[in-house]
Amino acid sequence: MNTKILLAFTMAMLNYQMNYCQSTIKSTAKHYVKLYNGEMHEGEKLSYEYPMLQAASFNLDGRKFYSDKVYFFRNSHGTFANLYEIYGERAERYAMRINNTGRIQLYEEIDITAYGGDTLLTDNPKRLASGEVWQFYTKDEGDLKKGIYKNLKNDLTDSPASLKYLQTFKRLNTLQISLAVAGAAIIGQQLYARRNEDTVLSPQMVLGGIMCGATFFFEGPKADALWLAVDNYKP
């Protein structure tokens, strides 16, 4: 009995020590900015500043970096990517890393004003990352890319498991487009046939509308297929 108690106590202490070490490492992780030109600058405290009528910038221990020069950065809340090259000049849109499989890093777009300072602003949950969706990714900490089929097919081509899920996405996408085109064609044909008559909702038009509306239900499975392609990336 005493042996079991001692073993349980030892395991509890080990678990506590591991959790403590992890939290300590996280809290003391260096803040940094990585510029588009490849330069890396580290420091103790990074904040995002956006004064009225002035260009937004990042302040790293008193050093100022204009936001349009910053590609990636890390502060006390996590790691983030600038969407400047994706959305254009002065967009001031950012994405937070929500998942790191080792080779693939996933990013979800957020409102930087909630994450830019020392304190996380939680007054509006819509500005925060959900951790359930992603729109961008990097491979091996490289360039940020949109999480679309074309990009993923190129970057995950060396993983048969990933390609299987990408093929699933392609089939779903083809079916979705075909259904939308067929539904629109039915509606168009009915409108053309009744062009000289009063517009009356016919059963065929209802069917076409249902077919077009049904395409919405493909979005979930398509997103799941892309997520699974990333999760199963094993070159």
pLDDT digits (tens, 9 = 90+) for 144-185: 999 999 999 999 999 999 999 999 999 999 999 999 999 899
Q: Name the helix (H) or strand (E) containing 71.
A: strand 70-75
pTM value? 0.78
Q: Is 190 exposed, middle or buried (0-12, 13-18, 19+ CB in 10 A)?
A: buried
pLDDT of residue 100: 83
CA count, 13 A, side-chain hemisphere, 39: 6
